Amino acid sequence: MTAPRGDDGAAAVEGPPIRVAVIEDDRRVRESLGDILRESRVCEFAGSFSSGEQALEQLADLDPRVIIVDVNLPGISGVEVIRRIAAQGRPWQTLVLTVYRDTDTIFEALSAGAVGYLVKPITPAKLVESVCDVAAGGAPMTGAVARKVVQAFTRTSHAAPAMASMLTAREREVLDMLVQGLSKKEIAARLSVSFATVRTHLEHVYKKLHVRTQAEAVARWLGGREPPRPT
């Protein structure tokens, strides 16, 4: 099921424009991303930062809905920035945009709390579409990254029977679809259940795996790691 799309190819998102901030050290790329977001009908460019330190100090003033983050930043790494943003507990969603496509970096970013992973270069239409997907609850990934995720899932889906045994068959099914990059709305349509039912399944998954976000659940499931014991 594909969400309705506007004239610019982006998924239709209800409500006001999506406020987007950018954390990117390359000035030309940073300015280019700002231009793309300004020209979009569904996005509102909130501002940009050249370093993670600067972003962490000033993001609260911008209060973006989606934050586009490069992994390779001077000083604090992009992955660490994502981790610190997630730890604040704010309703901000981080979307990686980088040149790195190695498996370790992908899963480090997802484990830190990123909800999507895109590889440069990217077209304006794809960028805006991905921002809208994030705002709608999806987990957009560049094709090559999605293939790595699926391959990792294939290798590890049976590697942690203890973890799998904690989940019901329907919870595992929902988690598998998240791995494929489907949004909650798309999962609901595919399973012929309500959006609220999918959300309830995910709440149970988060509790059982001792995670707080969709990205953490996917990373833990793919990594086949045992969840930490409650303290």
pLDDT 10s digits, 160-178: 556 677 888 899 888 888 7
Closest CA to 23 of 59, 64, 69, 77: 69
Of all residues in the chain, what percent are helix, strand and coil, respectively (each to 5)?
50, 15, 35
How confident is the model at residue 148, as a pLDDT?
Answer: 72
More confident residue, 161 or 10: 161
Q: What three-state secondary structure class fits 14?
A: coil
Domains defined along the chain, listed by start: 18-143 (3.40.50.2300), 147-223 (1.10.10.10)
Tokens of 169: 């068959």
Of the given ranges (24-28, 129-133, 162-166), which has the lowest mean pLDDT? 162-166
Distance (Å, rounded) from C-alpha 40 to C-alpha 29? 17
Query: Per residue, what are the HEC states of 215-228?
Result: HHHHHHHHHCCCCC
Q: What would the pLDDT profile of 79-118 be if each residue is shown by its tens digit?
A: 999 999 988 888 899 999 999 888 778 888 888 889 899 9
Q: In what order do the strands lie in the sheet with 93-98?
A: 43-49, 18-23, 66-69, 93-98, 116-119
How confident is the model at residue 6, as a pLDDT?
Answer: 45
Give the H or E element holding residue 97.
strand 93-98
Say how many C-beta atoms besides its own lie within 10 A of residue 196's C-beta: 10
Tokens of 219: 């990373």
How confident is the model at residue 173, as a pLDDT?
Answer: 87
pLDDT at 43 over 90: yes
The per-residue pLDDT of the chain, averaged, comes to 83
CA dihedral 186, 187, 188, 192 (to 10 degrees): 110
H helices within the chain, ranges in order? 27-39, 52-62, 78-87, 103-112, 124-135, 143-156, 161-165, 169-179, 184-191, 195-209, 214-223
Contact status, residue 217 vs residue 205, Cβ threshold 8 Å? yes
pLDDT at 25 over 50: yes
pLDDT at 228 over 50: no
pLDDT at 158 over 70: no
Give the bridge partners for 18, in sequence order: 43
pLDDT band at 24 (very low <50, low <70, confident <90, very high): very high
More confident residue, 200 or 209: 200
Longest dimension (CA), the chain: 50
- Write the single-letter amino acid at 155: R
pLDDT at 231 over 50: no
Q: Using omega within 30 degrees of 0 as the cis cutoff, is the peptide bond preceding 121 cis?
A: yes
